Amino acid sequence: MANTQTKLKEVKLFINGEYVESSSQTLFEVKNPATQEIIAKVHEASFEDVDRACEAARQAFEEGPWRTMPLSERCAKIRRMAEIIIERKEELARLEALDVGKPYQVALEREIPRAAENLKFFADFMEHQGGEVYPMDDAYLNYTRYEPVGVAALITPWNLPFMLTTWKLGPCLASGNTAVIKPAEITPLTVSLLGEIAQQAGIPDGVVNVVHGFGVQSAGEFMTTHPEVDLISFTGETTTGKAIMKNGADSLKKVSFELGGKAANIIFEDANLDKAIPVSIQAAFMNSGQVCLAGSRILVQRTILDEFLTRFKEAAAALVVGDPQDAKTNMGPVVSQAHYNKVTSYLSIAEYENSTLIYGGKRPELPVHLSTGYYLQPTIYLQENAQARICQEEIFGPIVTIIPFDTEVEALAIANGTEYGLNAVVWTENLQRAHRISHDVRAGTIWVNCWFVRDLRAPFGGFKKSGVGREGGHHSLEFFTEAKNICIALK
Ligand code: NAD
């Protein structure tokens, strides 16, 4: 059993190459969601602090060597950041598990290596980019350049703090921009180390700044209204995206939003259940269901409903819910008291809507040191009405709803019948059907007979209220650059 007693950390702001205290001396606390123990005191950025961070980023962009240094040198420094992350992966994974409540093993084997890969990938990718050439008869020659935009605000949520921040930071830096980062207030620990890691990698002062705080009337809002910020890359809730868009409108900031989801995971009667069930369990309960891509609505063809329910329930019951620091744990707590209250409020909503509880719905039995943690059993409901709130709203916790369907047409209507469109999953052995459904579901990513497989070159983002724009490969670079056309008279 891992030692849960941790030394209280002081998390400072990283501005212009230095860790500094909040100018207002305001600090807020961060708790371990598995125990409610206070693990960190965090300096909250005042307006003056955010202003200094944005000014530092502006100066580093306009006057520093970052934008103008040879691309190979810039990308080598970003790759060095990736190497340092791998060198420090145990430490980062421990912190992520402590802060978010996710299993250490998942952070160690998946998220922290992926964070390093995000940086390395975009450094490599940028070095392989060219531009376009458009000759006009023999009289003129057009060619394009992709130039950095300026100062980027990178605002990230608490579910995958380090991985999602590097997913933005990689293309931001590789394109030659400078950054002011704000992690979610409840999970600042790993992201706060990005300042130090950037410095160790030789990235000039002012290029990477990290501020801490909340959204409204705090660091988030100060960043998104700041005149020196040119572009905002945000991942979080759809309602926050709307507020950020409004706040950034006055200064016409460029925005890229990765927002909420309520993915349909569609299981047809010809699906290979030996594969579909374990992957659907992952899709429902990985990170305690706190994944934007979670397969939180499982649409099951009625002819296989009984078999699916029995086997899915058995697999959910076999998940080990426990201490995130323990290597055997499959599922930890949810992230905070406020989020626990939100997630568990859906238990009474589900009951009110006459959903049938198939499994879970209670606090799991846990060792005494976890008795105050924000734990809920993996929970499964059956609901015939696809318009019920548990089938429509993003719960973002370990609660999954099974919705039966009879025909392909019906499955498609249910899959498309929400305001979200981030992703969907299809399980079938019928090739034509796999293509038909993939074409007709209105979502940014469709996984057929798999889930959560990511090629970093591929576009990632949402239809409808799940996002604005796309990230990944050249889609990220388009957002983080301005295309310039140069037209030369040849005669
Ligand atoms: P959130 O929107 O509450 O917060 C995200 C970040 O925005 C935090 O850093 C927060 O402090 C900041 N913020 C809040 N209000 C703000 C404001 N008015 N101005 C500027 N910044 C503000 O989201 P969350 O609860 O941290 O994360 C969960 C949400 O994120 C879920 O909806 C989930 O689906 C979504 N998410 C989406 C993706 C994706 O790729 N589409 C990935 C992960 C999470």
Q: How far is the CA of 422 from the centre of ligand 1 (A)?
A: 15
292 in ligand 1 pocket by Cβ < 6 Å? yes
CA distance 97 to 104: 5
Give me the residue label for tokens 């399980």: 427
* pTM of this structure: 0.97
At residue 387, φ and ψ (nearest 5 deg) are: -90, -5
**Percent of all residues in the chain with a pLDDT value above 70, rounded to a whole number:** 99
Domains 10-259+466-487 and 264-448 share a fold: no
Return the residue whose CA atom lies nearest to atom 21 of ligand 1: 220
Q: Is 221 in the pocket of ligand 1 (CB under 6 A)?
A: yes
Asked if residue 215 has its Cβ within 6 Å of ligand 1, the reply is yes
Residue 6 above 80 pLDDT?
Answer: no
Q: What residue segments make up the domains of the chain, in order of their start?
A: 10-259+466-487, 264-448
Which among 230, 232, 188 is positioned nearest to 19, based on CA atoms? 188
The Cα-based distances of 434 to 285, 368, 386, 427, 460 in angstroms read 24, 48, 22, 8, 20
Inter-axis angle of helices 71-87 and 112-127, nearest 10: 170
Tens digits of per-residue pLDDT, 361-408? Answer: 999 999 999 999 999 999 999 999 999 999 999 999 999 999 999 999
> Separation of 257 CA from ligand 1 center, angstroms?
10
Q: What pLDDT is stored for residue 1 in this prediction?
A: 40
Taking residues 214-235, report their average pLDDT: 98
CB 152 within 8 A of CB 232: yes
What is the distance in A from the centroid of ligand 1 to the CA of 237? 4
- Which residue in 89, 282, 256, 96 sits closest to 184, CA to CA? 96
Kindly tell me if the per-residue pLDDT of 131 is higher than 90. yes
3-class state of residue 48 by DSSP: helix
Q: Where residue 5 falls among pLDDT bands split at 50, 70, 90?
A: low
DSSP secondary structure letter of residue 33 = T
Q: DSSP string covering 267-289, please?
A: E-TTS-HHHHHHHHHHHHHGGGG
Q: Residue 73 contacts by C-beta under 8 Å, 6 or more apart in sequence?
A: none
Q: Quick one: average pLDDT of 152-166?
A: 98
| Ligand 1 contact via 236 beta carbon (within 6 Å) | yes
pLDDT at position 397, please?
A: 98
- Residue 485 CB neighbour total at 10 angstroms: 11
**Mean of the per-residue pLDDT values of the chain:** 97
Order across the sheet with 254-258: list the strands.
18-20, 13-15, 208-210, 178-182, 151-155, 231-235, 254-258, 467-468
- CATH class for domain 264-448? alpha beta
pLDDT mean over 473-480: 96
Which residues are identified as catalytic? 258
For domain 10-259+466-487, the CATH class is alpha beta
Stretch 33-43: mean pLDDT: 98
In this predicted model, what pLDDT tens digit does every residue of 267-323 receive, in sequence order? 999 999 999 999 999 999 999 999 999 999 999 999 999 999 999 999 999 999 999
From the alpha carbon of 261, which atom of ligand 1 is closest? 34
Between the CA of 68 and the centroid of ligand 1 the distance, in Å, is: 33
**Dist CA 141 CA 147 (whole Å):** 19
Which atom of ligand 1 is least distant from the CA of 258?
A: 41
